[in-house]
């Protein structure tokens, strides 16, 4: 037997194949010697029948073989029933013997008499179709005729792209003298590949990304942008939290400007963040960025076009980018359908996991209708496939059109209700990767990430929460005017003491005003399922965060000034070693020194500190020896609060402690990997306590510079 070199068999496998062939030949000869050879002579056939009758008489104690019809071309096997009963059952993958029977003998040409050869096509993790079967030269020759088919020697599989599937089924179905039985791909999988093959490949548009954006993309982010373009601008970007999904989506949007305006759907806590990122990276006038908020008041330091959702009849979504929350979509559904947005970005798309929710039923038609739809989710619920269905339906409604078909295939085995389990998990994951989803974990791209990245997150505070803060700032402005007009040194010093107390009052009240927005943002972090540290200063903020986590049944520890020193180490150990403990609620002072909390790589500051060095110390609870991941740091800021005062001076001291999600950092020295609109410096951070800013220095700064004079540029967020 000639073995093709391309089959890539080892010497041991060749020996085994040879031994198997000799054994089968011996079996055939043995069978021929006892039951006569097949011959075209009727006399030989009669002799065979006589021999058979004699042997049956000699072995009358043996079990009687099954009777056979005289028209059957193969006589019954007279050997013990432990031997093969039929030639075609000798080996599933053996080469078939062509029938050479007496002319005129009735031959049953049904599939029963041809050797069976079974294939099972399955979806490989590479996104290709794979088939595994026993060695057969005829079948191998057939596979070589399949377009772009190749032999995977490592896994011992024949593989070909999904586009060759129909041709493969045709070639294998036409094998002569074989009864080919192919277990085809599930119909849903087949539909998904057919649908994916029809979408246009837009990778030639990649060059439309502005150079100042493209140059700041990390290699894996460039890959993500190309994946979305390759799949026709309809894809699920499922990178882990902190890998820059927002920037990748903005980069894709820049490739399809001819289809603007853009609709951005996001949780309410991220609306201002989206507006800031769009303005910063695309250099759009802030008036071209429209945000629908529950009320038109509140802080709007960025100068964005704010529209109140309460005035439903007067809403006009006429910005180049229009940002609304999922909760508002049901109220605006008719208008959104009428406006016919061609580009839709759905951030935190797992908000659509509940099929019965109003926001899901209202949002899906808008996404389905769009020409381009980019879904972003750091938690795509791969272990709960039913929660993916609506997101997949939004992207490919013609494929994922029946929840029962999907559920019976991928959601079996649950004990808490119908379709609450997971089945054919690997197939679903491979299918999504091949047709609609790209997902990278931090550990997968760690070599490309800076060791520490900082990002500002802008909170949206309501009129109600801002009322007291605004009054205090007006009082502060009047005090500053009085200090300038003071006629004596004593009068000025007295007024400055009052000013210091007023600033502290603003600090305290700002914390309470930020609580609702901070908790809303924490809800999105909890969804990500990662471990995180959250720092605050005031007790009301710490209490609110702790109570919120307990209410959400999130395992957490808390360390503040009231935590006994003896119990702190045990709390740290619990956080480091217990997977169910996801959060550490820490005061900036008490929790910012001497603790090792490297089990988390996400650090959140709900408040700022008067002393910039405290922020660095707090960051380093996670960013220290033992940390094996890149650390993401999020500063939650609210315009028109004490954050305005503190952040400006923190920037002045720390040199660009700002938007670093997509930047690089050398230890604590910030590099210049920033958009052109925010050039960065290269100074390193000083830690000398004597050089840290104090409240007195803040007051002196307030004296020297009017508040209006040191506000950030209203056209963009505070720049680093």
| 179-230 pLDDT tens trace | 777 778 889 998 998 898 899 999 999 999 999 999 999 999 999 999 999 9
Determine the pLDDT at residue 21.
Answer: 67
Q: CA 277 to CA 455: how far, in whole Å? A: 11
Distance between alpha carbon 33 and the CA centroid of its chain, in Å?
66
pLDDT at residue 445 greater than cutoff 60? yes
State the Cα torsion 273-254-371-354 to the nearest 10°: -20
- Output the CA angle 500-505-511, nearest 5 degrees: 130
Task: For 199-235, give the secondary structure using H, E and C.
Answer: CCCCHHHHHHCCHHHHCCCCHHHHHHHHHHHHCCCEE
* 389 vs 693: which has the higher pLDDT: 389
Percentage of the chain beyond pLDDT 90 is 34
Would you state the pLDDT for residue 231?
96
d(CA 18, CA 691): 83
What's the rounded Cα separation, in Å, for the pair 480 and 492? 10
Q: Does 495 score more than 60 pLDDT?
A: yes
Min mean pLDDT across 28-42, 652-666, 690-704 is at: 652-666
Check pLDDT > 80 for residue 329.
yes
pLDDT at 260 over 80: yes
Q: Are residues 78 and 126 in the same domain?
A: no
Assign 137 a pLDDT band (cuts: 50, 70, 90). Answer: confident
Q: What is the dihedral of CA 387, 250, 635, 551, to 10 degrees?
A: -10
Q: Name which residue leads in pLDDT, 109 or 667.
A: 109
- Residues 696 and 575 reside in one and the same domain: yes
Q: CA dist 601 to 239, 465, 581, 632, Å?
A: 15, 31, 14, 6
The mean predicted confidence, pLDDT, of the chain is 77
User: Do 308 and 372 share a structural domain?
Assistant: yes
Rounded Cα–Cα distance for residues 299 and 118 (Å):
68
Strand partners, 455: 634
Residue 13: the pLDDT is 58
Q: What is the mean pLDDT of residues 354-382?
A: 92
Among 275, 383, 272, 372, smallest CA distance to 320 is for 275
Statement: residue 517 has pLDDT above 50 = yes
CB 611 within 8 A of CB 537: no
Which burial class, exposed, middle or buried, applies to 567 when counting CB atoms under 10 A from its CB (0-12, 13-18, 19+)?
A: exposed
* Cis before 261 (ω within 30): yes
Q: Domain range spanning residue 20?
A: 1-60+68-90
Residue 76 pLDDT greater than 80, yes or no: no
Distance CA(428)–CA(232), nearest Å, equals: 21
- Residue 238 pLDDT > 90: yes
137 vs 650, residue with greater confidence = 137
Report residue 11's pLDDT band, with 50, 70 and 90 as the boundaries: low
Structural Rg of the chain based on CA atoms: 36
Residues 337, 362: Cα–Cα separation, whole Å: 10
How far is it, in rounded angstroms, from Cα 547 to Cα 76?
81
Burial 580-602 (b: 16+ CB within 10 A, else e): ebbbbbbbbbbbbeebbbbbbbb
| pLDDT confidence bin for 309, thresholds 50/70/90 | confident
Sorting pLDDT into bands at 50, 70 and 90, what band is 596? confident
Residue 63: predicted pLDDT: 42
Whether residue 234 is predicted with pLDDT greater than 50 in this model: the reply is yes
Query: CA 555 to CA 552: how far, in whole Å?
Result: 9
> For residues 539 and 541, what is the distance between their CA atoms, to the nearest angstrom?
5
- Which residue in 82, 69, 99 sits closest to 27, CA to CA? 82
In this prediction, residue 36 carries a pLDDT of 47
Reported as type and span, the H/E element at residue 485 is helix 463-485
Position 7 confidence tier, pLDDT thresholds 50, 70, 90: low
Whether residue 27 lies inside any domain: the answer is: yes
Are 160 and 290 in a shared domain? Answer: no
Pair 205, 180 in one domain = no
Q: What whole-number distance in Å separates Cα of residue 324 and Cα of residue 326? A: 7
pLDDT over threshold 80, residue 477: yes
Cα(412)–Cα(425) distance, integer angstroms: 10
Predicted local confidence at residue 100, as pLDDT:
39
Closest to 248 measured CA to CA, from 285, 218, 270: 218
Tell whether the model's pLDDT for residue 656 goes beyond 60.
no
Give the pLDDT confidence score for residue 675 in this predicted structure: 38
What would the mean pLDDT of 137-141 be, rounded to a whole number? 84
Report the candidate in 450, 438, 383 with the shortest Cα–Cα distance to residue 411.
383
The most confident of the ranges 4-18, 478-492, 572-586 is 572-586
Distance of CA 315 to the CA centre of its chain: 34
pTM for the whole structure: 0.71
Q: Is the pLDDT of residue 454 over 60?
A: yes
Q: At what angle do helices 358-369 and 329-339 cross, to 10 degrees?
A: 10
Query: By mean pLDDT, which of 7-16, 327-336, 496-505, 665-674 is the weakest?
Result: 665-674
Residues 36, 48: contact at Cβ < 8 Å? yes
Could you tell me which residues are beta bridge partners of residue 587?
536
pLDDT the model gives residue 539: 94
- Indicate whether 414 belongs to any domain: no
Domain count of the fold of the chain: 4
Dihedrals φ, ψ of 603, to 5°?
A: -125, 130
Residue 167 and residue 258 in one domain = no
Residue 157 has pLDDT above 70, yes or no: yes
Q: Do residues 545 and 483 both lie within one domain?
A: yes
Q: DSSP alpha helices (H): ranges in 533-674?
A: 539-551, 565-577, 612-619, 642-654
Decide: 85 and 75 in contact? Cβ < 8 Å.
no
Which range is least confidently modeled, 287-301, 536-550, 566-580? 287-301
> What is the phi/psi pair of residue 522, to 5°?
-60, -30
446 domain-assigned: no
Among candidates 398, 339, 415, 400, which has minimal Cα distance to 370? Answer: 339
Residue 144 makes CB contacts below 8 A (sequence gap 6+) with none
Q: Is the pLDDT assigned to residue 671 strictly greater than 60?
A: no
Q: For residue 602, which phi and psi values (nearest 5 degrees)?
A: -125, 125
Flag whether pLDDT at 336 surpasses 80.
yes
Q: Mark whether 496 and 617 lie in a shared domain.
A: yes
Cα separation, 408 vs 402, whole angstroms: 10
For 592, residues 6+ apart whose C-beta sits below 8 A from its C-beta are: 535, 586, 614, 617, 618, 621
What is the structure's pLDDT at 591?
78
The residues, ordered by sequence, that sit 6+ positions from 539 with a Cβ below 8 Å of its Cβ are: 560
Average pLDDT, integer, range 275-286: 92
CATH of the domain at 296: 3.40.50.10810
Identify the residue with better confidence: 178 or 244.
244
CATH of the domain at 509: 3.40.50.300
Same domain assignment for residues 476 and 559: yes
In a domain, 715, yes or no: no
**Phi and psi dihedrals of 584, rounded to 5?**
-125, 115
DSSP string, 356-425: TSHHHHHHHHHHHH-SEEEEE-S---TTSGGGGHHHHHHH-TTTS--HHHHHHHHSTT-SSSTT-S--SH
Q: Per the domain annotation, does 710 fall within a domain?
A: no
Percent of the chain with pLDDT over 70: 72
The verdict on 237 and 284 lying in the same domain is yes
**Of 543 and 110, which is predicted with more confidence?**
543
Same domain, 597 and 539: yes
Residue 410 is assigned to a structural domain of this protein: no
279 occurs within a structural domain: yes
Same domain, 223 and 165: no
Q: For residues 194 and 163, is the Cβ–Cβ distance under 8 A?
A: no
pLDDT for position 64: 43
Q: Report in angstroms the alpha-carbon separations of 289 from 264, 280, 348, 376.
A: 10, 11, 20, 20
Question: Among 143-152, 164-173, 215-224, 527-536, which stretch is predicted with the lowest mean pLDDT?
Answer: 164-173
| 300 secondary structure, DSSP code | -
The answer to the question of residue 443 being in a domain is no
Task: Give the pLDDT score at 265.
Answer: 97
């Amino acid at each position: 037997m000639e073995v093709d070199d391309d089959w890539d068999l080892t010497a041991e496998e060749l020996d085994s194949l040879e031994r198997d062939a000799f054994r089968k030949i011996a079996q055939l000869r043995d069978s021929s010697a006892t039951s006569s050879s097949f011959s075209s002579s009727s006399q030989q056939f009669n002799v065979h029948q006589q021999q058979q009758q004699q042997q049956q008489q000699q072995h009358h104690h043996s079990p009687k073989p099954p009777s056979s019809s005289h028209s059957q071309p193969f006589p019954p096997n007279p050997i013990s029933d432990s031997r093969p009963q039929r030639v075609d059952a000798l080996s599933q993958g053996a080469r078939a013997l062509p029938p050479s029977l007496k002319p005129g003998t009735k031959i049953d040409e049904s599939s029963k008499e041809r050797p069976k050869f079974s294939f099972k096509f399955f979806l490989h993790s590479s996104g290709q179709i794979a088939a595994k079967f026993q060695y057969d030269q005829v079948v191998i020759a057939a596979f070589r005729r399949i377009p772009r088919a190749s032999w995977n020697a490592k896994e011992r599989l024949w593989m070909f792209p999904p586009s060759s599937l129909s041709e493969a089924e045709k070639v294998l179905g036409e094998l002569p003298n074989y009864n080919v039985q192919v277990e085809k791909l599930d119909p849903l999988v087949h539909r998904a590949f057919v649908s994916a093959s029809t979408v246009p490949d837009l990778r030639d548009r990649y060059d439309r990304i502005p150079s100042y954006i493209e140059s700041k993309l990390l290699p894996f982010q460039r890959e993500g942008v190309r994946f979305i373009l390759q799949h026709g601008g309809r894809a699920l970007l499922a990178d882990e939290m902190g890998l820059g999904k927002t920037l990748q989506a903005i980069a894709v949007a820049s490739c399809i400007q001819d289809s603007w305006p853009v609709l951005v759907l996001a949780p309410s806590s991220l609306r201002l963040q989206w507006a800031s990122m769009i303005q910063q990276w695309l250099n759009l006038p802030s008036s071209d960025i429209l945000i629908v908020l529950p009320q038109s008041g509140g802080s709007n330091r960025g100068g964005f076009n704010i529209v109140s959702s309460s005035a439903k009849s007067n809403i006009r979504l006429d910005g180049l980018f229009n940002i609304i929350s999922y909760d508002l979509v049901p109220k605006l559904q008719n208008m959104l359908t009428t406006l016919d947005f061609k580009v839709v970005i759905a951030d935190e798309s797992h908000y659509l996991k509940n099929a019965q929710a109003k926001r899901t039923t209202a949002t899906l038609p808008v996404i389905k209708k769009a020409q381009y739809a980019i879904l972003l989710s750091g938690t795509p619920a791969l272990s709960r496939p039913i929660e993916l269905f609506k997101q997949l339906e939004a992207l490919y409604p013609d494929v994922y059109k029946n929840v029962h078909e999907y559920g019976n295939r991928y959601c079996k085995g649950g004990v808490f209700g119908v379709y609450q389990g997971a089945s054919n998990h690997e197939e679903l994951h491979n299918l999504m990767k091949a047709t609609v989803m790209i997902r990278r974990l931090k550990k997968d791209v760690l070599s490309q990430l800076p060791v520490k990245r900082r990002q500002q997150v802008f909170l949206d505070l309501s009129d109600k929460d801002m009322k007291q803060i605004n009054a205090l700032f007006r009082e502060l402005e009047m005090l500053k005017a009085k200090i300038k007009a003071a006629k004596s040194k004593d009068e000025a010093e007295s007024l400055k003491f009052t000013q210091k107390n007023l600033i502290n009052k603003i600090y305290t009240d700002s914390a309470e005003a930020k609580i609702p927005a901070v908790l809303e943002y924490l809800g999105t972090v909890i969804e990500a399922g990662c471990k995180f540290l959250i720092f605050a200063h005031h007790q009301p903020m710490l209490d609110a965060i702790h109570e919120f986590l307990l209410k959400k049944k999130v395992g957490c520890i808390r360390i503040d000034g009231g935590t006994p020193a003896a119990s702190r180490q045990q709390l740290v150990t619990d956080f480091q070693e217990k997977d169910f403990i996801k959060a550490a609620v820490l005061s900036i002072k008490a929790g910012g020194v001497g603790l090792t909390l490297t089990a988390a790589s996400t650090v959140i500051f709900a408040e700022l500190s008067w002393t910039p060095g405290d922020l660095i110390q707090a960051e380093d609870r996670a960013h220290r020896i033992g940390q094996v991941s890149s650390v993401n740091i999020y500063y939650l800021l609210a315009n028109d609060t004490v954050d305005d005062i503190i952040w400006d001076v923190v920037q002045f001291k720390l040199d660009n402690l700002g938007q670093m999600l997509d930047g690089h950092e050398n230890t604590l020295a910030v590099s210049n990997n920033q958009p052109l609109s925010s050039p960065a410096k290269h100074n390193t951070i000083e830690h000398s306590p004597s050089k840290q800013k104090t409240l007195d220095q803040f007051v002196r700064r307030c004296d020297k510079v009017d508040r209006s004079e040191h506000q950030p540029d209203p056209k963009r967020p505070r720049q680093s």
